[in-house]
Amino acid sequence: MIRSLIIGAVSFASVACAHAQTDEAAPPFIIPADIAETAQTLKSTALESNLGFRIIEDLTTQIGPRLAGTPQEARAREWGMAKLKELGFENVREEPFELDLWTRGHSVYEEVTLTAPYPQPLYAISLGGGGATPEEGSEAEVVYFASYDALKADTVSDLAGKIVFVGDRMTASRTGEGYGWANRKRRDAWVMAEDRGATALFIRSVGTSNNRFAHTGMMSFPEGRHPKIPALSVSNPDADQIERIAKSGEVMKIKLKTFAGWRGKSMSGNVIGEIVGREKPDEIVVIGGHLDSWDTGTGALDDGAGVGITMAAAKLIANLPENPRRTIRVVLFGSEEVGLVGARAYAAARIEDETLANHVMGSESDFGAGEVWRFGSNVGPDALPAMDAIGRELADLGIIRGDNESGGGPDMIPLAMAGVPMGRLDQNGEDYFEYHHTPNDTLDKIDEDELQQNIAAWSVFTYLAAELDVDFRAGEAEAE
Amino acid sequence: MIRSLIIGAVSFASVACAHAQTDEAAPPFIIPADIAETAQTLKSTALESNLGFRIIEDLTTQIGPRLAGTPQEARAREWGMAKLKELGFENVREEPFELDLWTRGHSVYEEVTLTAPYPQPLYAISLGGGGATPEEGSEAEVVYFASYDALKADTVSDLAGKIVFVGDRMTASRTGEGYGWANRKRRDAWVMAEDRGATALFIRSVGTSNNRFAHTGMMSFPEGRHPKIPALSVSNPDADQIERIAKSGEVMKIKLKTFAGWRGKSMSGNVIGEIVGREKPDEIVVIGGHLDSWDTGTGALDDGAGVGITMAAAKLIANLPENPRRTIRVVLFGSEEVGLVGARAYAAARIEDETLANHVMGSESDFGAGEVWRFGSNVGPDALPAMDAIGRELADLGIIRGDNESGGGPDMIPLAMAGVPMGRLDQNGEDYFEYHHTPNDTLDKIDEDELQQNIAAWSVFTYLAAELDVDFRAGEAEAE
């Protein structure tokens, strides 16, 4: 997922600034007893159900990696359609869209060797969007920058014909907030390197892991420009090696061979299924995850988990004696990793079919499969007491009430920017970046107990958002 | 290191069966006060010194992986000679020997793809000694065996033209004792597979890690026979995938391309340096580690650690105002991983130069860089009180006294079998097989505090073994 984009969207879409818990003036919202009871029943059922895990197991076993625009992603859409139908969802459909295809073009490996001063292989991997070397590979001297800021501040180094290396180590946190900072070098260091004549960019892996895998992910492309040079991420232990040699002052050279590149247009799509509302079928609570994943792992945490969590939560709600008042729509977004392409296509289609205003609440799960620890929101001030009430239903799962300035997840950004109210179930991401965007993003990294707590929270939140007679947009704050 | 071989050698070389602590009859051995004081000083110095870490850092940075018989191992010998001289060791020399060379022949990667029923890449790596596929690769159906025992018991499956897969998951323990059991499939499952017409062997990675690396290591070769078929180890997450598909009953196929094979004769060698004894220079306390390592990691834990620990311990002793009574010989063994080739060459050379009987004590460090928690021995019964006394000097490092049936480490096996007394500083190996024989065996996995405790223990043990006027062979038990 593209965590760094969330922040911007949040402040843009923020419709109420007061911290939920400090809004002393508003009278408490009381959830009707029968609805509260149903929510509690759902929670208990979810805590006993292994449906979510089974969905993630199916997706990672039967499809595995599913890079946007590839046949593997197309197979994942078929899988998604079949799974939604199998679980009894209604209006199951695919919304196709076009995208620019980038692939590694080789295998999940890149050939990277430190050739001087101390020859040995390095474990590195192309960043999404990077270019290829000549077929026989290329070799160049390394110019070392300890950080993104050091590269940015540099005006004197001769980078022509050189490999630019950028350090900066990410630190772990529950909220994952170090990611955006560490990720700056992944996004646009290539522009500085290429503009100054460098032959390749290498960055220290953005993830927190000391495993000998490098973290991949898409670069940013100003004005739609794509890099001509290869851009690679180097595992943390290998980046340590580069750092040690840089400190020694010895001339360092790297040889690499990559086949990465842009392959023209390809097709992708969003997969949609619904639990149709019994009273207000046109009002939509939209939840989901993204179906595409990076090609090196099997996309269990990013974002098989989001697919499994939201599909299972919706299915558990569908198992109730009657559907909730509003429609719950589960969207399995395509092509998130490569720039929220599916999310933009979804929002554009809703503008096209004039149903954007029907979206009463949105939330995506895209931060792994860990325990939910905080419930945030981004709703109109009149709806805050209702969100606080939903928060109270979640408290015995160990979930605290957050503020009202939350984003709803990366694929919700276009909707949030269009004013759709958002809920947010924040998951513990302390170890998320140990696995994220690496070969290690596999099923065995998911703790089934934590997943059940997570799905229980999603069931309660989604059910109440769909059932309660609340206008979540109500009382929008004036723009400043 | 080849842990599984230790057990056999221990029972063969065992010269005293009573548990050290239960030998109530023997009078306590009192270490002379000045010697005990020197031992304590050494310990304090070692706990403050970063020499051991610096040695391992140098070796892994400047050489990195050093597969037996390759130019990288030759560079490691040059490094070892230079480092021993730099630290002031005497009689620094190399003892070359010949060996059969096996290499992966490609890079540190193998190309392995699950092609049916669910196409996706698998992370796998050739086992040492395995063969190559045809250049274009090969593809075959998988016959799944849950365990080594299941393969062994099977008499009915048609394995001709198939890939044999063998499960069995290793569990972690402080002593690493699960390794030998889990390793049976690595050693000789290939013989059963090949004899029954299989085209390849795949085994579940022997290590305990759920990282997406497979554990490599040498196979066993009955009667010097080498496999014609490729033999690969599959990472635990990928082995899980194979297991899930096997349970589903779907036909499973794997495509692979490997370039592994035997490359004829090559040269290797042991590197030796000494602290010459002030009174009995001909009596030798031999310690060391092995210089070669697997090609996928950088051999920090296996066995850069042993090299750094023993070299640093000896150097700290050399820094004392006077050398100990006996000679301390540090041996950096070559070609351990491929079958204790250096250890055998060392023992053969000592038979040749008739100095085997001069070896009064031996011990190797080859189990990572973790804290030492137990001090074992394998000495004559009359020497037990002295070993108990050495144990008491180690107690405040948190080290308990073990029994008198210890091996001295893999490269000590030929010496132990020839009757050389052994000491053993057992390291905590709880996480050793998380990294062992994988790309993840890198410097960052070493905890400097644990390493210092480890070297402190080695300093004290080595110094006392060289200084105390004790015949460690004395009172050998009669053979049964």
What value of ipTM does the predicted structure carry?
A: 0.92
Q: Which of B410, B366, B334 is nearest to B78 (CA)?
A: B334
Record: contact B241-A107, CB cut-off 8 A: no
Nearest Cβ partner for A123 among B117, B241, B439: B439
Q: What stretch of H or E contains A166?
A: strand A163-166
Among A61-75, B97-111, B248-262, B269-283, the least confident range? B97-111
Record: contact B442-A237, CB cut-off 8 A: yes
Residue B479 lies in a domain: no
Domain boundary among A262, A297, A328: A262
- Report the residue of chain B nearest A58, measured CA to CA: B244
Min Cα–Cα distance to chain B from A244, Å: 8
Q: Cα(A465)–Cα(B132) distance, rounded to whole angstroms?
A: 59
Angle at B285 between CA B282 and CA B288, to 5 degrees: 130
Task: Sort out which chain A residues have CB atoms less than 8 A from B299's CB and list them.
Answer: none
Per the structure block, which two tokens stand in for B377?
A: 């021995």
Residue spans of chain A under pLDDT 50 = 3-22, 478-480
Record: contact B61-A211, CB cut-off 8 A: no
Task: Sort out which chain B residues have CB atoms less than 8 A from A236's CB and list them.
Answer: 444
Q: Cα(A270)–Cα(A273) distance, rounded to whole angstroms?
A: 10
Record: contact B64-A120, CB cut-off 8 A: yes
Nearest Cβ partner for B212 among A61, A64, A442: A442
Q: Which residues contact A211 (CB under 8 A, 6 or more apart)?
A: A235, A236, A434, A438, A440, B211, B213, B440
On whether both A389 and A255 belong to a single domain, the answer is: no
The pLDDT of residue A8: 37
Q: Cα(B271)–Cα(B89) distance, rounded to whole angstroms?
A: 12
CA dihedral B169, B175, B179, B180 (to 10 degrees): -130
Task: Sort out which chain B residues have CB atoms less than 8 A from A118's CB and list them.
Answer: 61-64
On whether both B95 and B111 belong to a single domain, the answer is: no
Record: contact A210-B444, CB cut-off 8 A: yes
pLDDT grade for B175, boundaries at 50, 70 and 90: confident
Q: How far apart are the first and last CA of chain A?
A: 31
What Cα–Cα distance (Å) separates residue B38 from each residue in B206, B317, B325, B460? 43, 10, 13, 9
Task: Sort out which chain A residues have CB atoms less than 8 A from B58's CB and list them.
Answer: none
The pLDDT of residue A2: 53
Most B-contacting residue of A110, A211, A256, A446 (CB-CB within 10 A), to test interface: A211
Task: Sort out which chain A residues have CB atoms less than 8 A from B118's CB and list them.
Answer: 61-64
Most B-contacting residue of A112, A212, A256, A298 (CB-CB within 10 A), to test interface: A212
Q: Cα(B439)–Cα(A51) distance, rounded to whole angstroms?
A: 35
Q: Comparing B425 with A110, which gets the higher pLDDT?
A: B425
pLDDT grade for B176, boundaries at 50, 70 and 90: confident
Could you give the number of structural domains in chain B?
2
On whether both A135 and A196 belong to a single domain, the answer is: yes
Taking each helix axis as running N to C, give the angle between helix B448-467 and helix B305-318, from 0 to 180 degrees, rounded to the nearest 10.
Answer: 50
The pLDDT of residue B377: 98
The pLDDT of residue B177: 82
Query: What's the full length of chain B, in residues?
Result: 480
The pLDDT of residue B476: 63
Beta bridge partners of B264: none
Task: Sort out which chain B residues have CB atoms less than 8 A from A119's CB and list them.
Answer: 64, 72
Q: Which of B318, B422, B470, B346 is nearest to B14 (CA)?
A: B422
CB B385 within 8 A of CB B339: no
Min Cα–Cα distance to chain A from B232, Å: 17
Residue at B97: amino acid letter: F
The pLDDT of residue A108: 74
Beta bridge partners of B267: B98
On whether both B110 and B93 belong to a single domain, the answer is: no
On whether both B403 and B268 belong to a single domain, the answer is: yes
Q: Cα(A342)–Cα(A292) distance, rounded to whole angstroms?
A: 10
CB B327 within 8 A of CB B285: yes
Record: contact A244-B297, CB cut-off 8 A: no
Task: Sort out which chain A residues have CB atoms less than 8 A from B241's CB and list them.
Answer: 60-61, 64, 298
Nearest Cβ partner for B118 among A61, A123, A442: A61
Residue A51 lies in a domain: yes
Structural domain including B16 reads: 4-102+264-467
The pLDDT of residue B17: 39
Q: Cα(A237)–Cα(A241) distance, rounded to whole angstroms?
A: 6
* Residue A268 φ/ψ, nearest 5 degrees: -140, -170
Q: Which of A79, A239, A227, A72 is nearest to A147 (CA)?
A: A239
On whether both B243 and B390 belong to a single domain, the answer is: no
CB B110 within 8 A of CB B125: yes
Record: contact B118-A63, CB cut-off 8 A: yes
CA dihedral B216, B221, B227, B230 (to 10 degrees): -10
DSSP letters, B228-275, are SS-EEEE-HHHHHHHHHHHHHT---EEEEE---EEEEEEEEEEEEEEE
DSSP A303: I
Report the sign of the C-alpha dihedral through residues B453, B454, B457, B462, in that order: negative
What CATH number corresponds to the domain at position B381?
3.40.630.10
Residues B446-469 have pLDDT tens digits of 999 999 999 999 999 999 999 999
Q: Which residues contact A264 (CB under 8 A, 6 or more apart)?
A: A100, A101
Residue B239 lies in a domain: yes
On whether both A303 and A386 belong to a single domain, the answer is: yes
The pLDDT of residue A291: 98
* Residue B457 φ/ψ, nearest 5 degrees: -65, -45
Residue at A71: amino acid letter: P
Most B-contacting residue of A53, A57, A58, A61 (CB-CB within 10 A), to test interface: A61
On whether both A118 and A92 belong to a single domain, the answer is: no
The pLDDT of residue B19: 45
Residue tagged 């070896």 (tokens): B359
What CATH number corresponds to the domain at position B125?
3.50.30.30
Record: contact A61-B244, CB cut-off 8 A: yes
The pLDDT of residue B1: 56
* Residue B282 φ/ψ, nearest 5 degrees: -80, -15
Helix intervals (H) in A14-164: 33-48, 51-62, 71-86, 148-153
Query: Across the A/B interface, how many CB contacts are shorter than 8 Å?
Result: 96
Secondary structure class of B156 (helix, strand, coil): coil
Whether the pLDDT of residue B13 is over 50: the answer is: no
Residue at A438: amino acid letter: T
Secondary structure class of B311 (helix, strand, coil): helix
CB A432 within 8 A of CB A301: yes
Residue B475 lies in a domain: no
Residue at A269: amino acid letter: G
Min Cα–Cα distance to chain A from B109, Å: 7
Secondary structure class of B41 (helix, strand, coil): helix
Task: Sort out which chain B residues have CB atoms less than 8 A from A108's CB and list them.
Answer: 121, 123
On whether both A394 and A433 belong to a single domain, the answer is: yes
What Cα–Cα distance (Å) separates residue B40 from each residue in A111, A430, B33? 50, 42, 11
Residue tagged 């040995």 (tokens): A120
Count CA within 13 A, CB hemisphere, residue B259.
11
Domain boundary among A225, A241, A262: A262
Task: Sort out which chain B residues have CB atoms less than 8 A from A212's CB and list them.
Answer: 213, 297, 438-440, 442
Residue A11 lies in a domain: yes
Q: Cα(B296)–Cα(B184) distance, rounded to whole angstroms?
A: 22
Residue B477 lies in a domain: no
CA A231 to chain centre: 21
The pLDDT of residue B5: 44
Residue tagged 């070892």 (tokens): B80
In this structure, how many other beta carbons lie within 10 angstroms of the beta carbon of residue B135? 7
Q: Which residues contact A314 (CB under 8 A, 6 or more apart)?
A: A89, A273, A275, A287, A328, A330, A462
Per the structure block, which two tokens stand in for B169?
A: 């998951």
> Left (φ > 0), alpha (ψ -120 to 50) or beta: where does B161 sit?
left
Residue A325 lies in a domain: yes
What Cα–Cα distance (Å) separates residue A150 from each residue in A146, A168, A178, A301? 6, 10, 18, 33
On whether both A309 and A257 belong to a single domain, the answer is: no
Residues 277-296 of B with CB under 8 A from A: none
Q: Cα(B438)–Cα(B185) distance, rounded to whole angstroms?
A: 17
Domain boundary among A262, A286, A319: A262
Q: Which of A464, A479, A480 is nearest to A32 (CA)?
A: A464
On whether both A241 and A170 belong to a single domain, the answer is: yes
Residue A476 lies in a domain: no
* Residue B247 φ/ψ, nearest 5 degrees: -65, -30
On whether both B244 and B363 belong to a single domain, the answer is: no
Min Cα–Cα distance to chain B from A213, Å: 9
Q: Cα(A341)–Cα(A333) distance, rounded to whole angstroms?
A: 9
